[in-house]
Amino acid sequence: MNKEELKQLESESIYVLREAVGQFKNPVLLYSVGKDSSVLLHLARKAFYPAKIPFPILHIDTAYKFTEMYEFRDSFIKKIGANLIVARNEIAISKKTSPKTHGLEACCNLLKTQTLLAALRENSFDAAIGGARRDEEKSRAKEKFFSFRNSLSQWDPEIQRPELWSIYNGKVKSNESIRVFPLSNWTELDIWHYIKDEKIPILSLYFAKERKVYFKNNTLILNNHTLDEENVEVMNVRCRFRTLGCISCTGAVRSDADTIDKIIEEIKNVNFSERNNRLIDSNLKNSMEEKKRTGYF
C-alpha cells in the first residue's frame, strides 16, 4: 500500500463530504461506531477543519449493540465536540423484539431500517451520509456517491441517476432524499491502512483476544448475558470481529491479529469476504439488495 493511494482516497472523500454540505440544507452523518464510521467521522473533521463538523451525527441504536460500543461512542463524540442524535425504536425494544421472536429480517427491519427512516423524517434530513463501501457487498458495488431515494426512502438500482465526472446531482423534491457515500471507493485494506496512518481510535472488538463464544449457524457469536440463548455450548476462542453490528447477528472470526499490522496481514491473505460473518447478509442471496430497496443504507 502506498501513501499516494490513500491521499487520493482521502481527497475524494473530503470532496464528497463538502458536496453534501454545499448542496443540502440539512444533512446528517450516520455513525455506527464501527471502523468505517470512525474513518468517515475522521474525514468529516478534516473536511471542515478548522471549523467543527457542520452537521449532526446520528446513531441508530438497536439496543443490541456491544457494551463497549456505547462507551466508545459517548467518549469519542464528546472528545471531538460533535452533536450526537441517538435514535431507537423504543416501542419495538420495549416489546422485546429480537431475531428469536421475529426472525432476522423483521427484527433488522424494525430496529434498524424503520428507526432510521423515522429519524430522517422527524428531523427533515435531506441527505444521509453513510460509511458504506462498494467493495463490501455485491449490491453496494452498484451504488453511486450520491444515491437517490424516493419519497418512501426506497432505492431502485435499475433507474439510478447517472454520475458523470465528479459532478453530483443532489437535487430532490420534498420527501425525496440522497444517501451520500464518501467511502465508496475504499477497500477494507485501505480502511485499516488509513486507521494506522492517521492513528484513528478504534474499538477493541476488532483486535483478537480470548472471548466467550458459542456457535450459531456455523458462526461464532459472543456470549452475552442479556441475550443468552438456551442450551448453547460456550467456548473460549481467540477471535476478533471484522465488522460490527448487533451482538446476536455478528460473527467473530478466529484470529491472532491483536495489532493493526497483524490485521492488515490477515486481511491480505484471507479467503472470505468481510461480511461473510453477518448472519443477516448471508441469510438469503439478495438480502442486502432487498434491505436497501426498503430504505436500509
Partner 1 sequence: MSINEKENPFLKTHKRSKLNFVTAGNVDDGKSTLIGRLLNDSNNLTIDKIDDIKDVKNGLSVLAHASDGLAAEREQGITIDVAYKYFSTKKRSFILADAPGHLRYTKNMLSAVSRASLAILLIDASKEIQTQTKRHAFLLSLFKVPKLVVAVNKMDLVNYSEISFEKIRNEFIAYSQKLRIDSLEFVPISALDGDNVVHSSQRMSWYKGSTILTILENTYSEGDCNLIDFRFPVQCVSHNKDSNFLLGRVESGSVKVNEDILVLPSRFQTKVKSIVKMSSEGKEVMLNQASFLESIAISLHDKVQVSRGDMIVKVDNQPKSLRLFEAMLVWFGEEETKVGREYIIYHSHNETQICIENIKYVIDVDTLSKAKSTSINVNQVGRVVLRASSELYIDEFQNNKSNGSFILIDPITYSTIAAGLIIDKAKLSSMVSNDSQSNQNSLDVKLISKKNKPQTLWLTGLSASGKSTIAREIEKKLSHLKIDVFWLDGDIVRTGLCKDLSFSKEDRSENIRRVSEVAKLFNQAGVFCICSFITPFEDDRILAKKTIGEENYIEVFVDTDLEVCEKRDPKNLYIKARRGEIKNFTGIDSPYEKPIAPNIAVDAGSRTIEDCVEQIMAYLGEKVL
Q: In what order do the strands lie in the sheet with 84-87?
A: 84-87, 57-60, 27-30, 127-129, 177-180, 146-149
Under the binding rule (CB under 8 A), the answer on residue 106 touching partner 1 is no
- Nearest CA to 111 out of 249, 276, 286, 282 is that of 249
One residue of 74, 258, 266, 289 binding partner 1 per CB under 8 A: 289
- Using rule CB under 8 A, residue 174 touches partner 1: no
Outline where DSSP puts E strands in 72-131.
84-87, 127-129
Supply the minimum distance, in Å, between the C-beta of residue 276 and partner 1.
5
- Using the structure block, give the residue that is written with the C-alpha cell 475522521: 42
Interface characters, 13-32, with partner 1 (x: CB under 8 A): -xx--xx-xx----------
Is residue 5 a contact point for partner 1 (CB under 8 A)?
A: yes
* Contact with partner 1 (CB under 8 A) among 74, 105, 197, 266: 197
Choice from 41, 62, 135, 221 touching partner 1 (CB under 8 A): 135
Q: How far from the centroid of its chain's Cα atoms is residue 242's Cα?
A: 12
Q: Is 217 in the site for partner 1 (CB under 8 A)?
A: no
Cβ-based burial of 21 (10 A; exposed 0-12, middle 13-18, buried ≥19): middle
* Cβ proximity to partner 1, 98 vs 287, nearer residue: 287
Question: What gap in Å lies between CA 173 and CA 27, rounded to an integer?
Answer: 15
Bridge-based pairing state of the strands 127-129 and 209-216: unpaired
Q: Which residues bind partner 1 (CB under 8 A)?
A: 2, 4-5, 7-8, 10-12, 14-15, 18-19, 21-22, 45-51, 54, 80, 134-135, 137-139, 141-142, 144, 157-158, 160-167, 169, 171-173, 184-185, 187, 197-200, 270-273, 276, 282, 285-286, 289
